[in-house]
């Protein structure tokens, strides 16, 4: 699940100097993080019993067959050595070759990443406005029945297992009503109608998962600001509550909100295994899960890199938005 | 103002939440003993049976008594989720305190590692962990804690950094206090309430992770099943509206909502009192 | 004729989180004829702001206007519905808040905020409103009236913000303006400018105003009538002259007395062995450059000596480096140059190299009592810590000592069990002080200990400090922006400007010219409790100076741009010399002391 | 399975010509008869050969149309290399694009396919005469070289073939004529034609190594193949079966989640879905316009008791466990009746070598208790390893746990992840589960899973008598004798082997009623994974 954010993102505290400088610094730090991730991934996956050779042969795994295959994949080399090889490859932009499929990992990911991004983007496009609206409304009516109701609803939404939401949605909209397609393998989409048919339900399901998070964070951030004295000042100028919330409080809350959104959206890259499985949506998350079950470490690593990079980019974007929105940081 | 004192003056949502939480805690504690049937016993020929006198909550996909299975299952969901969420929040806070008070490269390094962990999808982590060490309650807790500690850390660190700049911390430094004292005695108590609120959501996440894991065929060992697994294993009864799907789902919903109602009003109240 | 504002039997209550109601304002009533300025005087918690806000039909969250009647310009405010109130606020009644820095939205350009009310109420088109705003900026003597509107709050000074807020209030030509402590957050030198500007606009427009303040001296300059509030009740009301010159109410008398603080304790020569010696100190913040100097230098070449049992005051406007000085001595900010000796021993300016004993003997009391006490701990725990930490005192012994300490700072023993949030500002400051005393220190660094407090409470704290010094023989480094408080407690006074020590001398010497031009400005800027003081200000302080073109290079007198007596060809070319008088008086200036003395005793420049 | 109507392919007079050729052809009549025998075609079977299936008479197949089929799995590991095929979706994909030398029919009897004529000497030296006019998708004709390459590549470890062990018995494979291939086996094996019908032995182009796309002689050409996404197949006009296939296009996808698969079918997103959970069948049947096809088969999930370690070492414990299996409950509770009770031996009742005289072992707590006491393991606690990888094993384990509790035996179910199950858990625990797909040939089944030195001798038992019988049966060409030998082997396994086989499960496919020509081929779901070339869409 995505994670909440409070206050300005940590990096902003340390933020010194110009925007380009910040970006450069963050990208550098990001690269370090990527290496850390790869190391962690490698460490934990090396705990897995069995390897690609055994996984591929399955029931047919006889010792000599396995040995032969290991030799073929270079699995007979010591683990750390393989890791270093992989790192070296990464440095030259080569993610390595999949054991099971035999094709370059880059190709496999390239085939699916656009789909994952599309799903994430669509979901974000739908959920973020809804979440912000809910958050702002309940912030304005904080403590009131509307606030409580929204809070309860969003909580219930996040509380239902997503595979249940997905299955119910399919049952209703695809099977019973026949409006939408039960599958969204997102192949041959030409018309907007097809697009909607394919994406409506995965997006719907994912909205259930992430809206609550963002809404609650937005609410918190806006309420934070509503207690500021410039808000009282605005009220004393005769501004109506809506104007106060939207024109005054909201701009000041953009930092934390952007951060919360970034975290939620980053979940849409790697956390959507279940939705991808149920709608047989060919995304990167499924690719990684399969890779884990097939012990296809190059793919696992590659996907991990993608997710991490995506997460870092999103957080960076959030920080930049916060900076752009904040004159104190903009004009220095 | 002590937690107990707070509970005494709760507003109605808090009281409702308290009631729900209390109910589920009771279920977790004694449910197993109240169960009319053994958790694995097949007691009926008809599967996905409806609500009936013999089986108040119907029967599941094998014809087992749902009431008994939920009574047993709630123990796992609540136990695991509580333990994991607690572990995550505590570890996250502790690490954040160290990072925030030590600052400098320690802070940097810790933050990088945490970022790294955040960016690893929790379900993926669960998959690997279970595949590597087999599925036991301890491991499930460890996994969930591992996935949600970084999130808690993020928040805790943000809080700690804010508190760190406050005058009373400066005063402590000027008094010559050591970092551990400042972290534990000066900063920590002022982070408890927001972390408490955060704990609520984290609890939900763990419950969801557990059901997510059941989807991937992980989770507690049969014949036992956590609430999420109960929903999952009976999902094919959904279209005929079998209680076997609806009841555990409802259970999860009430549980998570209850916990959050309680925590929201407790920490909210605390804030009001200090303000 | 019939008054513009009539308030009758106003009663406002608040609901505490714990449930029970508290009366904030009880049975308050007054009238304001059109064109008059009424002052609401009282310390914090007296309900003055609550009353002021009620004039806009506004009560802070958790507060409720229970009963009473408020009529403004014929409108019965309390009977208005939401729409009616929106129509009233910012149109009929405008508000100027205490801290402009907080009251401006940091995210929006100033102009948008200044004209917002006009747009909300549709009193003018955007263009017309902006034109009007620019005119107001000019009237309020704001620099670059045409352009300042495009800036953001963080880009202008506090004084300017305060004046911008006035413009914001006047943009709709409201019938009534409510000014809530509009200058409290400002330096005295800035305060004058702002007061002048306010007075000008209020007078010119014949506006009716409510001026909320805790400072009689300021009110004496601004108001026609005064209502003295205390504990939510009106203690006395009358014309300014009546209230400040012939106060009837006992509380009012205390207020008047506190307004002009009297010297406390006998001045003592610095004959004894020096306790603290600061030599050629340079300090600041940010990265250190090649020669170990910080990016932002805050203190330049500071010399300072505090004798055992002496009290040295450091004054200067905000940002002059006085707080940094205290923090360097406390070890919170490392010194880049120079050395600090304590009791003859060199004192490491880095916390980590100080012994616990050194920590114990030097205690710092921070300015803001609200944030300096850990809200999560009880008072007992707060006081117990230093006892245990420095002296290993625990259990009964500690409890006994805590009782003593509380008694020492004149607090009831009952507060021990409370939490800071349950104490008043003055009480917190006493606890803050008690915590320092718990260490039995030789030197206490007092950083603006009274500036956050009301005059009466502040005065009490000053008395306390003086007593403690007499009884315990502790030394003080007393930091303040207010020369009168410093004069009240200190033997010697050091004047800092932009990190430089520009003037220094003992209390007596600081009582009369010659002064360093900045010290002169500082001293003369302190409002006197005298009607018409503001108009009677010497011209040299009023004079607006041509700006100094090029940036000053290091070493030159930092006050040059604001200096009324600057000498072209000297001040802007060579660093100012240190002129020393008998009695250890030091002044950093080119102008000869005689000439300074002549100018400052009223002669022409 | 005499009740199942013969697939329409029987109509082709081409097939009749094949039989005649076999009967008359160069070979001696004895060999030919023996061939037929080997292929299980007694006189009766031969007669049924000409019987027209009812539904086929009812309406003539219609050409055209597009079908989307939902398999179980899809992952980056999907492959177009027959040798690597590891699950039903792979097999189905391979049958789309490739043909084998032989092909199984509704009775699992091998019919010559790319091999027009099959002869053998003592079931050891086999000669295949290749069909003339069979072409690859790239237009090139089928040559002996292609066959030789396709059969020999399995032995090369680099191929990572699933049937490497099976292919070990090909002592020599060589072109023995312009369009003849000769296979010499290490030991006689009358079931070679059956073995060669398996998807792994489908014929690829000589030298084929890169399987980014498929070039076979199968009914469809590969239009698009995205591992883990979908396979798109278009009709191959040059297919060697005249008039086949009927469908213009077939799209094969995988939907791992069973409810999702059923929903996709009922929502009309797919026209046919494999492996419908028994619990969902009522739902599919009750939805108008949809039907299910149950294929009774030899598929089973078996309880494995290692006999080379405690407690399985003890024959009484083994018997106790076998008596603990409540086959009726397994059948009804877990498989909702879509299974037939098994008798702790691997041949299903439908198999032609099934030993009907072997009495059915029943669920009997008393006997179980008796044997448990005798074994001395009463009151003890054992972990029993189950996994989703072995279908139904988790539920079976739970049922077993229940009945075991009744006789004072504590079984602790240990569910392990499906991934890595076969390499890390299967056959590695004292008590565990396995899963065996139907093997058309009894010999193959016994050789692979029960021979003492078999790589998958799951219970690790050693029974010389059994091994001798196996070799004898393999060489024995006389049907009656063979059946007797296999009968004895079934008894031995039933009595002694540490393998408990509760039920044989049915394959259940769900499909839209518009889809015609779908019949059972018990080698697996989807008509033994070969549905694509047989079915057509009604207008």
First-to-last alpha carbon distance for chain D, in angstroms, is 30
Cis peptide before D311 (omega within 30 of 0): yes
Helix (H, G, I), strand (E, B) or coil at C239: strand
- Chain B contact partners (≥3 CB pairs within 8 A): A, C, D
User: B37 CB contacts (<8 Å, ≥6 apart)?
Assistant: B43, B64, B65, B67, B68
Helix (H, G, I), strand (E, B) or coil at C178: strand
C560 and C504 share one domain: no
Q: Is the pLDDT of residue A213 over 90?
A: no
First-to-last alpha carbon distance for chain A, in angstroms, is 36
Tens-digit pLDDT profile for residues A135-159 = 999 998 888 889 989 988 888 888 8
Q: For residue B142, what pLDDT is reported?
A: 93
- Inter-chain contact C359–B175, Cβ cutoff 8 Å? yes
Query: Cβ contacts (< 8 Å) between B218 and chain D: which residues?
Result: 417
Q: What percent of chain A has pLDDT over 70?
A: 92
Q: Is the pLDDT of residue B31 over 90?
A: no
Q: Does A45 contact chain D (CB < 8 Å)?
A: no
Domain D99-201 is of which CATH architecture? Answer: Alpha-Beta Complex (3.90)
C448 and C585 share one domain: no
Two tokens, residue A305 = 């890199």
- CATH assignment at residue C214: 3.40.50.300
Does residue D393 contact residue D387 with C-beta atoms inside 8 Å? yes
b (16+ CB within 10 A) / e for D4-39: bbbbbbbbeeebeebbebbeebebeeebbebbbbbb
Q: How far is D278 from chain B (nearest CA, A)?
A: 10
Confidence of residue C580 (pLDDT cuts 50, 70, 90): confident
Q: Is the pLDDT of residue C267 over 60?
A: no
Residues 100-159 of A with CB under 8 A from D: 100-101, 103, 108, 111-112
| Span B268-272, average pLDDT | 50
Q: How far is B197 from chain A (nearest CA, A)?
A: 11
d(CA A157, CA A210): 9
Q: Read off φ and ψ for residue B241, nearest 5 degrees.
A: 60, 40
The structural domain count of chain C equals 3
Does residue A203 contact residue A126 with C-beta atoms inside 8 Å? yes
A158 closest CA partner among C166, C146, B259: B259
Query: Cβ contacts (< 8 Å) between B175 and chain C: which residues?
Result: 359, 363, 385-386, 389, 439
D221 closest CA partner among D107, D139, D324: D139
Residues 42-81 of B with CB under 8 A from C: none
Q: Does A291 contact chain D (CB < 8 Å)?
A: yes
Q: For residue D51, what pLDDT is reported?
A: 35
Q: For residue D122, what pLDDT is reported?
A: 85
Q: For residue A187, what pLDDT is reported?
A: 67
Tell me which residue in C330, C372, C386 faces B167 most closely, judged by beta carbons: C372
Q: Does D76 contact chain A (CB < 8 Å)?
A: yes
| Pairing label, strands D499-500, D515-516 | unpaired
Q: For residue B273, what pLDDT is reported?
A: 39
- Inter-chain contact A148–B13, Cβ cutoff 8 Å? yes
- Inter-chain contact A54–D423, Cβ cutoff 8 Å? yes
Tell me which residue in B175, B177, B273 faces C17 most closely, judged by beta carbons: B273
What is the C-alpha radius of gyration for chain A, rounded to an integer number of angstroms? 23
User: D383 CB contacts (<8 Å, ≥6 apart)?
Assistant: D411, D412, D413, D414, D429, D431
Tens-digit pLDDT profile for residues A68-127 = 778 877 788 888 888 888 888 888 888 888 887 778 899 889 988 998 999 999 999 999
Two tokens, residue C17 = 């989180």
Q: Is the pLDDT of residue D192 over 60?
A: yes
B230 closest CA partner among B254, B251, B205, B209: B251
Give burial (CB, 10 Å; 0-12/13-18/19+) of D291: middle
Tell me which residue in B123, B204, B260 faces A273 most closely, judged by beta carbons: B123
C461 and C328 share one domain: yes
- Inter-chain contact B275–C17, Cβ cutoff 8 Å? yes
Q: What percent of chain B has pLDDT over 90?
A: 30
Of C446, C479, C511, the last residue of a domain is C511
Cis peptide before D245 (omega within 30 of 0): yes
Q: How far is B110 from chain C (nearest CA, A)?
A: 24
d(CA C40, CA C179): 10
CATH no., domain D299-505: 3.10.105.10
Confidence of residue D20 (pLDDT cuts 50, 70, 90): very low
Q: For residue A186, what pLDDT is reported?
A: 57
Residues 184-243 of A with CB under 8 A from D: 185, 187
Q: How far is C19 from chain B (nearest CA, A)?
A: 9
Tens-digit pLDDT profile for residues C336-374 = 888 899 988 888 877 888 899 999 999 999 888 888 899
Tens-digit pLDDT profile for residues B83-110 = 999 999 999 999 999 998 888 889 989 9
d(CA C227, CA C235): 8
Beta strands in C135-273 (DSSP E): 176-180, 208-213, 225-230, 233-239
Confidence of residue C211 (pLDDT cuts 50, 70, 90): very high
Of C459, C481, C511, the last residue of a domain is C511
User: Picking from A55-69, B11-25, B226-240, C129-143, which range would have the lowest pLDDT averaged per residue?
Assistant: A55-69
Q: For residue C542, what pLDDT is reported?
A: 57
- Inter-chain contact B235–A168, Cβ cutoff 8 Å? no
Answer whether C touches D (≥3 Cβ pairs < 8 Å).
no
What single DSSP character describes residue C537? -
- Inter-chain contact A236–C105, Cβ cutoff 8 Å? no
Q: State pTM to two decimals.
A: 0.83
Tens-digit pLDDT profile for residues D37-61 = 344 333 333 333 333 344 444 568 8
Q: For residue C135, what pLDDT is reported?
A: 92
Question: Which residues form the domain of C582?
Answer: 517-603
**Which pairs count as long-range contacts for C534-541, CB under 8 Å and 24+ apart, including other chains?**
C534/C192, C534/C195, C534/C196, C534/C199, C534/C221, C537/C192, C538/C602, C540/C564, C540/C565, C540/C599, C540/C605, C541/C192
| Span B47-71, average pLDDT | 90
- Inter-chain contact B239–A175, Cβ cutoff 8 Å? yes
Between these two residues, B141 and C459, which has the higher pLDDT value?
A: B141
Between these two residues, A36 and D30, which has the higher pLDDT value?
A: A36
Reduced DSSP (H G I as helix, E B as strand, rest coil) percent helix, strand, coil of chain B, to 5: 75, 0, 25
Q: Is the pLDDT of residue D259 over 60?
A: yes
Query: Cβ contacts (< 8 Å) between B13 and chain A: which residues?
Result: 148
Mean pLDDT of chain B: 86
Place of tokens 């000019």: C138
C443 and C344 share one domain: yes
Tell me which residue in C104, C121, C155 faces A230 most closely, judged by beta carbons: C104
| Span B34-57, average pLDDT | 88
| Span B69-92, average pLDDT | 93
Q: What separation in angstroms does the CA of D485 have from each of C387, D452, D470, D471?
A: 97, 17, 8, 10
Query: Cβ contacts (< 8 Å) between B100 and chain A: which residues?
Result: none
Q: What percent of chain C has pLDDT over 90?
A: 31
C181 and C310 share one domain: no
C103 and C162 share one domain: yes
User: Picking from B77-86, D148-157, D443-452, which range would have the lowest pLDDT averaged per residue?
Assistant: D443-452
Does residue A161 contact residue A205 with C-beta atoms inside 8 Å? no
Query: Cβ contacts (< 8 Å) between C94 and chain A: which residues?
Result: 236-237
Q: For residue D329, what pLDDT is reported?
A: 92
Residue of B nearest to A38 (CA): B116
Please state, as a whole number, how many other Cβ atoms lie within 10 Å of the Cβ of residue C417: 11
Q: Is the pLDDT of residue A59 over 80?
A: no
- Inter-chain contact B274–C331, Cβ cutoff 8 Å? no
- The secondary structure element, H or E, covering residue D56 is helix D54-58
| Pairing label, strands C225-230, C208-213 | unpaired
| Span A193-204, average pLDDT | 88
Two tokens, residue C198 = 């306010």
Tell me which residue in C102, C107, C120 faces A327 most closely, judged by beta carbons: C107
Q: For chains A and D, what is the number of CB pairs under 8 angstroms?
A: 145
Q: Is the pLDDT of residue C332 over 60?
A: yes
Q: For residue C539, what pLDDT is reported?
A: 66
Confidence of residue A234 (pLDDT cuts 50, 70, 90): very high
Tens-digit pLDDT profile for residues C453-488 = 777 778 888 888 888 888 888 899 999 888 888 888
Of C234, C259, C284, the last residue of a domain is C259
d(CA B80, CA D241): 60
- Inter-chain contact A48–D420, Cβ cutoff 8 Å? yes
Tens-digit pLDDT profile for residues C405-417 = 998 888 898 889 9
Q: What separation in angstroms does the CA of D479 have from each of C221, D45, D325, D346?
A: 125, 13, 33, 19
| Span C526-554, average pLDDT | 69
Class of domain B75-274: mainly alpha
Place of tokens 């009968």: D487
d(CA C180, CA C52): 8
d(CA C498, CA C554): 12
C469 and C593 share one domain: no
Sign of CA dihedral D445, D447, D451, D455: negative
Give burial (CB, 10 Å; 0-12/13-18/19+) of C231: middle
| Span A303-326, average pLDDT | 88
- Inter-chain contact A155–B239, Cβ cutoff 8 Å? no
Query: Cβ contacts (< 8 Å) between B41 and chain D: which residues?
Result: 402
Pick the CATH number of D61-98+218-289+513-539 from 3.40.50.720, 3.40.50.300, 3.40.50.170, 3.40.190.10: 3.40.190.10
- Inter-chain contact B62–D280, Cβ cutoff 8 Å? no
Tell me which residue in B170, B269, B273 faces C332 most closely, judged by beta carbons: B170
| Pairing label, strands C475-480, C311-315 | parallel
d(CA D70, CA D280): 15
Q: Where are the alpha helices (DSSP H) in C215-321?
A: 216-222, 240-245, 250-259
| Span D351-359, average pLDDT | 91
b (16+ CB within 10 A) / e for B93-118: bbbbbbbbbeeeeebeebbbbbbbbb
- The secondary structure element, H or E, covering residue A213 is helix A192-226
Most C-contacting residue of A144, A235, A238, A245 (CB-CB within 10 A), to test interface:
A238
Tens-digit pLDDT profile for residues C157-174 = 888 888 899 899 989 989
Q: Is the pLDDT of residue D382 over 90?
A: yes
Q: Does B194 contact chain C (CB < 8 Å)?
A: no
Helix (H, G, I), strand (E, B) or coil at C83: helix
C179 and C86 share one domain: yes
Q: Is the pLDDT of residue D22 over 50?
A: no
Confidence of residue B268 (pLDDT cuts 50, 70, 90): low
C496 and C585 share one domain: no
Helix (H, G, I), strand (E, B) or coil at B34: helix
In the Cβ-directed half-sphere of B48, how many Cα atoms lie within 13 Å? 19
Residue of A nearest to C97 (CA): A233
C186 and C324 share one domain: no
Most D-contacting residue of A175, A176, A181, A294 (CB-CB within 10 A), to test interface:
A175
C501 and C527 share one domain: no
Q: Is the pLDDT of residue C181 over 50?
A: yes
C177 and C283 share one domain: no
Query: Cβ contacts (< 8 Å) between A47 and chain B: which residues?
Result: 128, 132-133
- Inter-chain contact C107–A252, Cβ cutoff 8 Å? yes
Between these two residues, D87 and C605, which has the higher pLDDT value?
A: D87
**Which pairs count as long-range contacts for A149-156, CB under 8 Å and 24+ apart, including other chains?**
A150/A215, A151/A216, A151/A219, A151/B260, A151/B264, A152/B257, A152/B261, A154/A211, A154/A212, A154/A215, A154/A216, A155/A212, A155/B204, A155/B256, A155/B257, A155/B260, A156/B253, A156/B257
d(CA D382, CA D432): 11
Query: Cβ contacts (< 8 Å) between A69 and chain D: which residues?
Result: 157, 160
Q: For residue D39, what pLDDT is reported?
A: 43
| Span B158-179, average pLDDT | 87
Place of tokens 């990016």: C295
Q: Is residue C154 part of a domain?
A: yes
Helix (H, G, I), strand (E, B) or coil at D478: coil
d(CA C456, CA B170): 28
Residue of C nearest to B189 (CA): C376
With the CA atoms of A21, A27, A32 and A33 taken in that order, what torsion angle do they form, in degrees rounded to the nearest 10?
120
Tell me which residue in A6, A152, A167 faces B155 most closely, judged by beta carbons: A6
Q: For residue B124, what pLDDT is reported?
A: 85
- Chain A contact partners (≥3 CB pairs within 8 A): B, C, D
């Amino acid at each position: 699940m995505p994670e909440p954010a409070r206050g300005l993102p940590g990096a902003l505290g340390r933020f010194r100097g110009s925007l380009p400088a910040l970006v450069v610094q963050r990208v550098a730090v990001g690269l370090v993080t990527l290496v850390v991730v790869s190391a962690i991934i490698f460490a934990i996956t090396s705990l897995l019993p069995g390897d690609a050779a055994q996984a591929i042969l399955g029931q047919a795994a006889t010792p000599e067959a396995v040995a032969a295959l290991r030799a073929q994949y270079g699995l007979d080399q010591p683990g750390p050595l393989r890791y270093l090889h992989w790192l070296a490859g990464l440095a030259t932009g080569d993610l390595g070759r999949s054991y099971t499929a035999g094709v370059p990992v880059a190709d496999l990911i390239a085939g699916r990443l656009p789909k994952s991004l599309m799903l994430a983007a669509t979901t974000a496009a739908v959920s973020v406005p809804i979440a912000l609206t809910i958050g702002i409304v309940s912030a304005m009516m904080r403590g009131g029945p509307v606030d409580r109701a929204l809070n309860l609803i969003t909580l219930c939404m996040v509380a239902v297992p997503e595979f249940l939401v997905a299955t119910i949605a399919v049952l209703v909209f695809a099977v019973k009503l026949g409006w939408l397609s039960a599958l969204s393998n997102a192949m041959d989409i030409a018309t907007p109608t097809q697009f909607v048919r394919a994406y409506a339900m995965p997006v719907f399901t994912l909205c259930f998962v992430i809206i609550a998070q963002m809404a609650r964070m937005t609410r918190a951030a806006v309420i934070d600001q509503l207690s500021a004295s410039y808000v009282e000042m605005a009220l004393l100028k005769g501004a109506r509550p809506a104007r106060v919330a939207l024109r005054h409080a909201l701009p000041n809350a953009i930092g934390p909100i952007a951060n919360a959104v970034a975290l939620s959206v980053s979940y849409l890259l790697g956390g959507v295994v279940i939705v991808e499985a149920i709608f047989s949506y060919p995304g990167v998350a499924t690719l990684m899960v399969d890779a884990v079950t097939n012990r296809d470490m190059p793919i696992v690593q590659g996907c991990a890199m993608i997710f991490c990079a995506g997460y870092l980019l999103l957080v960076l974007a959030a920080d930049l938005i916060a900076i752009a929105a904040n004159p104190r940081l903009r004009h220095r | 103002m002590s937690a107990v004192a707070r509970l005494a003056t709760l507003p109605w949502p808090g009281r409702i939440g308290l009631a729900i939480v209390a109910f589920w805690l009771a279920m977790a504690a004694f449910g197993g003993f109240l169960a009319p049937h053994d958790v694995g016993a097949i007691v009926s020929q008809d599967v996905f049976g409806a609500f009936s006198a013999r089986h108040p909550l119907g029967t599941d996909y094998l014809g087992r008594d749902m009431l008994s299975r939920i009574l047993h299952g709630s123990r796992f969901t609540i136990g695991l989720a509580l333990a994991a969420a607690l572990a995550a929040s505590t570890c996250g806070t502790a690490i954040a305190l160290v990072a925030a008070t030590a600052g400098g490269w320690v802070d940097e390094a810790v933050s990088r590692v945490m970022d790294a962990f955040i960016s690893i999808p929790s379900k993926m982590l669960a998959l690997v962990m279970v595949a590597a060490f087999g599925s036991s309650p301890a491991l499930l807790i460890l996994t969930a804690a591992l996935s949600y500690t970084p999130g808690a850390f993020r928040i805790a660190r943000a809080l700690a950094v804010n508190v760190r700049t406050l005058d009373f911390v400066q005063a402590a430094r000027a008094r010559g206090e050591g970092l551990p004292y400042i972290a534990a005695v000066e900063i920590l108590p002022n982070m408890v309430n927001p972390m408490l609120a955060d704990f609520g959501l984290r609890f939900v996440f763990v419950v969801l992770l557990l059901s997510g894991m059941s989807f991937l065929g992980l989770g507690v060992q049969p014949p036992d099943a956590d609430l999420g697994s109960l929903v999952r294993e009976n999902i094919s009864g959904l279209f005929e509206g079998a209680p076997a799907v609806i009841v555990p789902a409802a259970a999860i919903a009430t549980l998570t909502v209850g916990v959050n109602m309680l925590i929201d009003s407790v920490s909210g109240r605390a804030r009001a009192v200090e303000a | 004729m019939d008054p513009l504002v009539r308030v009758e039997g106003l009663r406002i209550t608040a609901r505490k989180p714990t449930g029970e109601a508290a009366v904030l304002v009880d049975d308050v009533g007054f009238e304001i004829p059109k064109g008059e300025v009424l002052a609401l005087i009282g310390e914090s918690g007296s309900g003055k702001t609550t009353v002021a806000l009620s004039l806009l039909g506004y009560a802070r969250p958790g507060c409720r206007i229970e009963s009473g009647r408020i009529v403004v310009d014929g409108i019965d405010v309390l009977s208005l519905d939401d729409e009616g109130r929106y129509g009233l606020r910012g149109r009929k009644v405008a508000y100027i808040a205490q801290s402009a820095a907080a009251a401006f939205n940091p995210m929006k350009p100033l102009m948008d905020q200044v004209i917002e009310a006009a747009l909300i109420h549709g009193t003018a088109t955007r263009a017309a409103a902006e034109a009007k705003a620019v005119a107001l900026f000019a009237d309020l003597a704001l620099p670059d009236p045409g352009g300042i509107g495009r800036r953001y709050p963080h880009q202008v000074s506090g004084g300017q913000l305060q004046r911008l807020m006035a413009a914001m209030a006047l943009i709709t030509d409201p019938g009534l303006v409510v000014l809530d402590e509009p200058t409290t957050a400002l330096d005295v030198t800035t305060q004058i400018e702002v007061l002048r500007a306010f007075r000008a606009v209020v007078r010119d427009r014949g506006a009716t105003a409510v001026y909320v303040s805790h400072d009689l001296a300021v009110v004496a300059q601004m108001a026609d009538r005064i209502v003295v509030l205390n504990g939510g009740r009106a203690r006395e009301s009358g014309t300014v002259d009546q209230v400040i010159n012939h106060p009837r109410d006992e509380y009012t008398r205390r207020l008047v007395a506190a307004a002009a603080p009297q010297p406390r304790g006998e001045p003592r020569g610095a004959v004894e062995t020096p306790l603290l010696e600061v030599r050629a100190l340079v300090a600041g913040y940010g990265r250190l450059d090649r020669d170990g100097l910080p990016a932002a230098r805050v203190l330049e070449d500071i010399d300072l000596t505090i004798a055992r049992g002496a009290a040295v005051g450091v004054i200067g406007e905000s940002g002059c480096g006085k707080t940094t000085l205290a923090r360097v001595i406390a070890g919170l900010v490392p010194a880049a140059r120079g050395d600090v000796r304590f009791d003859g021993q060199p004192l490491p300016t880095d916390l980590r190299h100080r012994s616990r004993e050194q920590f114990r003997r030097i205690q710092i009391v921070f300015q803001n009592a609200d944030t300096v006490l850990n809200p999560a701990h009880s008072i007992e725990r707060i006081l117990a810590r230093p006892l245990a930490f420095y002296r290993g005192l625990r259990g009964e012994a500690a409890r006994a000592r805590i009782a003593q300490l509380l008694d020492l700072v004149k607090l009831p023993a009952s507060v021990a069990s409370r939490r800071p949030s349950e104490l008043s500002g003055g009480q917190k400051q006493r606890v803050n002080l008690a915590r320092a005393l718990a260490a039995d220190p030789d030197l206490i660094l007092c950083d603006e200990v009274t500036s956050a407090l009301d005059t009466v409470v502040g005065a009490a704290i000053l008395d306390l400090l003086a007593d403690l010094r007499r009884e315990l023989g502790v030394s003080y480094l007393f930091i303040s922006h207010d020369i009168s408080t410093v004069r009240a407690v200190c033997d010697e006074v050091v004047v800092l400007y932009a990190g430089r020590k520009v003037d220094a001398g003992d209390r007596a010497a600081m009582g009369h010219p010659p002064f360093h031009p900045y010290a002169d400005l500082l001293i003369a800027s302190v409002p006197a409790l005298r009607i018409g003081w503001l108009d009677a200000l010497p011209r040299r302080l009023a004079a607006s100076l041509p700006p100094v073109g090029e940036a000053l290079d290091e070493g030159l007198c930092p006050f040059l741009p604001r200096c009324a007596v600057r000498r072209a060809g000297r001040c802007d070319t060579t660093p100012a010399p240190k002129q020393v008088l008998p009695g250890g008086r030091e002044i950093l200036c080119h102008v000869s002391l005689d000439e300074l003395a002549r100018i400052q005793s009223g002669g022409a420049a | 399975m005499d009740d199942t109507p013969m697939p329409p392919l029987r109509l082709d007079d081409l097939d009749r010509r094949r039989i005649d050729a076999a009967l008359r052809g160069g070979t001696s009549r004895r060999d030919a008869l023996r061939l037929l025998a080997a292929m299980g075609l007694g006189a009766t079977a031969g007669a049924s050969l000409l019987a027209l299936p009812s539904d086929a008479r009812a309406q003539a197949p219609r050409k055209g149309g597009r079908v989307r089929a939902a398999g179980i799995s899809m992952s980056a590991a999907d492959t177009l290399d027959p040798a690597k095929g590891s699950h039903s979706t792979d097999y189905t994909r391979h049958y789309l694009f490739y043909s084998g030398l032989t092909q199984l029919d509704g009775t699992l009897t091998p019919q010559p396919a790319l091999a027009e004529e099959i002869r053998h000497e003592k079931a050891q030296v086999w000669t295949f005469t290749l069909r003339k006019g069979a072409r690859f998708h790239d237009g090139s004709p089928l040559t002996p070289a292609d066959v030789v390459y396709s059969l020999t590549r399995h032995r090369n470890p680099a191929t990572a073939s699933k049937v490497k062990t099976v292919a070990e018995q090909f002592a020599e494979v060589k072109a023995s004529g312009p369009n003849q291939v000769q296979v010499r086996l290490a030991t006689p094996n009358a079931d070679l034609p059956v073995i060669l019908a398996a998807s792994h032995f489908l014929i690829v182009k000589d030298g084929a190594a890169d399987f980014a796309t498929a070039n076979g002689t199968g009914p469809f050409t590969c239009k698009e193949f995205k591992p883990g996404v979908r396979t798109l197949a278009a009709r191959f006009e040059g297919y060697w079966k005249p008039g086949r296939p009927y469908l213009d296009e077939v799209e094969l996808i995988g939907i791992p989640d069973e409810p999702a698969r059923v929903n996709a079918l009922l929502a009309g997103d797919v026209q046919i879905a494999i492996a419908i959970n028994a619990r969902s069948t009522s739902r599919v049947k009750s939805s108008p316009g949809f039907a299910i096809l149950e294929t009774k088969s030899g598929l089973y999930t078996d309880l494995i008791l290692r006999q080379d370690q405690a407690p399985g070492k003890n024959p009484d414990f083994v018997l106790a466990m076998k008596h603990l299996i409540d086959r009726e409950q397994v059948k009804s509770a877990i498989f909702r009746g879509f299974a037939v009770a098994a008798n702790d031996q691997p041949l299903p009742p439908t198999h032609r070598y099934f030993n009907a005289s072997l009495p059915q072992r029943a669920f009997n707590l008393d006997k179980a208790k008796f044997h448990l006491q005798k074994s001395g393991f009463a009151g003890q606690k054992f972990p029993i390893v189950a996994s989703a990888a072995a279908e139904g094993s988790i539920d079976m384990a739970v049922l077993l746990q229940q009945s075991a509790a009744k006789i004072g035996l504590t079984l602790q179910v240990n569910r392990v992840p499906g991934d890595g199950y076969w390499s890390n858990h299967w056959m590695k625990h004292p008590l565990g589960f396995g899963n065996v797909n139907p093997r058309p040939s009894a010999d193959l089944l016994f050789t692979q899973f029960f021979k003492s030195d078999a790589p998958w001798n799951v219970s690790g038992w050693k029974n010389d008598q059994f091994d001798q019988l196996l070799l004898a049966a393999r060489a024995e060409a006389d049907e009656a004798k063979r059946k007797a030998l296999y009968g004895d082997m079934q008894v031995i396994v039933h009595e002694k082997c540490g393998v408990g086989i509760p039920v044989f499960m049915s394959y259940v496919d769900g499909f839209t009623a518009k889809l015609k020509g779908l019949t059972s081929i018990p080698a697996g779901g989807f008509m033994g994974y070969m549905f694509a070339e047989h079915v057509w869409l009604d207008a």
